[in-house]
Chain A
Amino acid sequence: MNSTNNNAILNKEKTSYILDREISRRKQIEDCAKIAGLEWDIETGEFWWSQNLYKIVNLDIQTLPPSLNALIGLFRPSDQAKVQKHFETLSQQGGSFRFYTHTLSRQGQETPVLLMAKMDAQTHKMIGFVQDVATDFEERESLLETLAKYRGVMSGAGDAIILLSHEGNIIEGNPKAAELLEVLPDNLSQLSVDDIHDQQELDIMMGYYQGFLWGQDQSARSTIIGKKGKRTPVEISGRSIEIGSQQMLVVIMRDITAQQQAQNALIRSEQRYRSLVDEAREGIMLLTSDGNILAVNPKLCESTGLKRSVLLQSNFRDITDFDMEISPTEILMEANTRSSIHMEGNLQTADGRLLPTGFNVARYKDQGQVQFIVTAYDLTNVRSSEEDRLELQKQLFQAQKQELLGQVAGSLAHDFNNLLSPILLVSEMLMEDAQDDPFLHGNLRNIHQAAERARRLVHRILTYTRPEESEPTRIELRHEMEETLALLRSSIPQTIKIEEICDHESYYSFADPDQIHQVIMNTGMNAAQAIGEEKGVITFEMRKIYVDENSELISRFEIPEGDYVTLCISDTGPGIPQHILNEIFDPFFTTKTQTDGSGLGLSVVRQIVENHGGAVEAIPHGGCLYTSHSNEPTIGACICIYLPLLKE
């Protein structure tokens, strides 16, 4: 029992002791923190403050009982209304407030304090404190002093400068910062970093700000958003400074709008140049002075068939070829001595082909380093047209050579023919003399035959070099006609039939067989063209006539009297109109369109015939005396040729 009482006493003493210690500690802490507690029961109006308040406001304990009005009265008069308003708001709306103010002692001494109060929703009591913040305030004052020193510098700065508390609140800023953030300079301190950044960038930027505090000096790019929504690209750098005992951050925000515009312009310009390079029809590469490829455009990849990544690992000499004359390395050495050079060579493709290519190598200096810009353009077409040109040149050369050979051959033939003449003539003569001596005659015949063979050989050469020269000889006209008609048949449409009328006699004339062929051929072709694509017949009729001294042919053509062969070529075409009868043998006379013929065919006929002492005429329908069928209604025109016959 006793022990129980003792225990109770002990417990009581112990409790009291603990309580005393608690109170003592609290007082010590309050004293240390220069803080005084407040409590206000709004329902009963009962107000309490801790003893330490008297110390803070420098009052005797007894002189002032706690009450709200007494508390308000402790602050300097200019703040009292505000304090009262804070409490009213708190009692009506709950929540909390913090308010920096000053107490005013009876001795007229002001002490900076922080008044803080909070509504406890459960107990419906207000609790709070008043803290003497004179020490902080001094720091703040010294801070402001420091700031004032910097302010001059800051205000003149072209960049926006803000001073941030380590919590991220703006303490101060220069006019440029106010402009950037679109607030009045005095209102800068209402903002924190949260307010000036895009929400999406905020985390990143907080990282940077933290970095600045830790001494990192890496700048950041961001966009600053003004109070009115203006966005300004900025480069942000920051530095930690210590003002008083507080760590703060000086943040410089450089407006990079112009810089970014310039950069954008640069990017656009670069894009333009890139498109020039990328869209170029020439391959373009940038080389180091050693020929290593630094850059290529798509065309070069396309031409070589090599990937860009492969090309960028290659050297100029790996992908080019210059026909042994000069090595790619030598080209670059050469280009280094001049501003640019041009070379033709080949581009080596991935599949091993050599692509004829022209190279322009231009020297270029990039920050003192020699580089080369190489433009490679395809020469395939150029070269093939160059090859065409060379081929033409070759043909021309060949033609000139042939002409020269012809001249040489002609001149040699002339001398040869002169030499052959006596051999032929004399051997013939001697053969006549040696008819009684078979051995001698045989030998002479060998000489003659060899000379004849040589003559034919020379003739062949001359025919080749001078086809227009005539060589009249004794020919049989009917035989020549038949030969020519065989050729004519294959030269005219099959719808046209060729008929031949002659009396199977032999008609010898002194004429050039080739030219007689030409006469028959030209006249035949002319008749065939008159018939056109219709069905038709061309008739060649040959007969012998005697032109006596009374013949009208003599007066008409001024040809001598004698034996003539007439060759009349008639066709079933439309005939020749009377008014052009005399013109059809004129050179260049033609009724055909320009593409059909030269208009020379019949004029050549007349020329040849007259050269052979003959005549030619065109006779309208029914007028020919020397054709058996002249009066047949189908007959159109008739060309009649008179050639003198050799005397038997």
Chain B
Amino acid sequence: MTHTPPPPLKALIVDDEDLVRNAVAMVLRRNQFEAIAVSSGEQGREACRKNTFDIILTDLVMPQMDGVEFIQALRADGITTPIITFTGGARVGHQNLSSQAIESGACLTLRKPVNKQQLLDAIATALEISR
């Protein structure tokens, strides 16, 4: 796509499900991303303080700090990195999380399960929008 090899894009993956977290991280690393995967919003917030990411992917339904709270915390911290959320779908009490996430500043919402193409397309779109 590009004539000079671009610096690898840094992605943060936040998901309490280690299977998902690791698989997403693995796919991104395969596709020239530098990926850091953490299992909670708190850890994600901490990671953002230490690193600068090009893209953040976060689960919405998580114990303690959920995805929306995580986004709000990041935006409160002044971090403007484009955020893609993904969620496994509807859980009681979490119906509005996707729209809340958009309202709080997420670029896109994805629904699990995602395949590789969806993931990469979403990242491309999110980067495009936030550019």
How many A residues have CB within 8 A of the partner chain? 43
A429: Cβ under 8 A from any B Cβ: yes
B22: Cβ under 8 A from any A Cβ: yes
A432: Cβ under 8 A from any B Cβ: yes
B58: Cβ under 8 A from any A Cβ: no
Given contact pairs A414-B91, A473-B118, A419 touches B131 in the complex (Cβ within 8 A): no
Would you call B131 and A421 a contact (CB within 8 A)? Answer: no
Kindly list chain A residues whose C-beta atoms are within 8 Å of the C-beta of B23: 421-422, 425-426
CB-based A-B contact count at 8 angstroms: 126
Given contact pairs A425-B116, A428-B116, A465-B90, A418 touches B129 in the complex (Cβ within 8 A): no
In A428-486, the 8 Å CB interface with B consists of 428-429, 432, 451-452, 455, 458-459, 462, 465-466, 469-474
Q: Bound state CA distance, A581 and B19, in angstroms?
A: 50
Stretch at the interface among B48-56, B67-75, B120-128: B120-128
Kindly list chain B residues whose C-beta atoms are within 8 Å of the C-beta of A423: 113
Q: Bound state CA distance, A422 and B116, in angstroms?
A: 10
Kindly list chain A residues whose C-beta atoms are within 8 Å of the C-beta of B20: 418, 421-422
A420: Cβ under 8 A from any B Cβ: yes
Majority DSSP secondary structure for residues of A touching B: helix
Given contact pairs A411-B90, A466-B95, A472-B110, A647 touches B115 in the complex (Cβ within 8 A): no
Would you call B129 and A470 a contact (CB within 8 A)? Answer: no
- Min CB distance, A406 to chain B, in Å? 8
Size category, B interface: 35 or more
Kindly list chain B residues whose C-beta atoms are within 8 Å of the C-beta of A510: 108, 121-122, 124-125
In B97-120, the 8 Å CB interface with A consists of 98, 102, 107-119
Would you call A421 and B112 a contact (CB within 8 A)? Answer: yes
Given contact pairs A425-B114, A474-B117, A613 touches B89 in the complex (Cβ within 8 A): no
Would you call B89 and A414 a contact (CB within 8 A)? Answer: yes
Q: Bound state CA distance, A414 and B24, in angstroms?
A: 17
Would you call A414 and B87 a contact (CB within 8 A)? Answer: yes
Kindly list chain A residues whose C-beta atoms are within 8 Å of the C-beta of B131: 560
Kindly list chain B residues whose C-beta atoms are within 8 Å of the C-beta of A420: 112-113
Given contact pairs A421-B19, A647-B124, A428 touches B90 in the complex (Cβ within 8 A): no
Q: Bound state CA distance, A319 and B129, in angstroms?
A: 82
Name B113's contact: one of A421, A432, A470 (CB within 8 Å): A421
A407: Cβ under 8 A from any B Cβ: yes
Kindly list chain B residues whose C-beta atoms are within 8 Å of the C-beta of A424: 113-116
Would you call A469 and B90 a contact (CB within 8 A)? Answer: yes
- Min CB distance, A548 to chain B, in Å? 14
Max chain B Cβ within 10 angstroms of own Cβ: one of A406, A411, A465: A411
Name B19's contact: one of A418, A462, A466 (CB within 8 Å): A418
Given contact pairs A417-B88, A428-B115, A469-B111, A644 touches B98 in the complex (Cβ within 8 A): no
Kindly list chain B residues whose C-beta atoms are within 8 Å of the C-beta of A414: 61, 87-91, 112
Q: A: which residues have CB within 8 A of B?
A: 406-407, 410-411, 413-426, 428-429, 432, 451-452, 455, 458-459, 462, 465-466, 469-474, 510, 560, 562, 611, 613, 644, 646-647
The 7 closest A-B pairs by CB, nearest first: A410-B90, A414-B88, A422-B23, A420-B113, A417-B112, A417-B88, A425-B23
Sample of 12 A–B contacts (CB below 8 Å): A413-B89, A414-B89, A414-B90, A421-B20, A421-B23, A425-B114, A425-B119, A451-B113, A469-B90, A473-B118, A474-B117, A644-B129
Known contacts A560-B128, A647-B128, then 14 further A-B pairs from the complex at CB < 8 Å, ordered by chain A residue: A407-B90, A410-B89, A411-B91, A414-B112, A417-B89, A418-B88, A421-B23, A469-B98, A472-B110, A473-B118, A473-B121, A613-B129, A644-B125, A644-B128
